[in-house]
Amino acid sequence: MKEEVLRVLEQIRPNLQADGGDVELVEVTEDGIVKVKLKGACGCCPMSTMTLKMGIERAMKEQIPGVKEVVGV
C-alpha cells in the first residue's frame, strides 16, 4: 500500500507546492493509517487540518480502499 500512497501524494504535491508547502510520508501502518508531515507553509498554516482531512485524506480514501485515516505528525 505504501507505493499507492506515494503515488497519490505525488498527485497532490504540486497543489501544496504552489502555496509554498509540501507533504512528507512518515508511515503507513498495517491497519490503514497514513501518517504524514506537512512542511513549509503548510506546516504552520491555520488551514492545515482542512488540507489534511478534506484534501489529502479524501484523495487517499477515494483512490486506495485500504486507507482508513490520514493523520498529521
Cα distance between residue 66 and residue 33, in whole Å: 9
Model pLDDT for residues 11-63, shown as the tens digit of each residue: 999 999 998 999 999 999 999 999 999 998 888 888 888 888 989 999 999 99
CA dihedral defined by 5, 11, 17, 21, rounded to 10 degrees? -30
Q: Output the domain CATH number for residue 20.
A: 3.30.300.130
Domain of residue 21 covers: 2-72
Count of domains in the chain? 1
- pLDDT of the residue at 72: 92
pLDDT band of 68, cuts 50, 70, 90: very high
Contact (CB, 8 A) for 15 and 59: no
- pLDDT of the residue at 48: 87
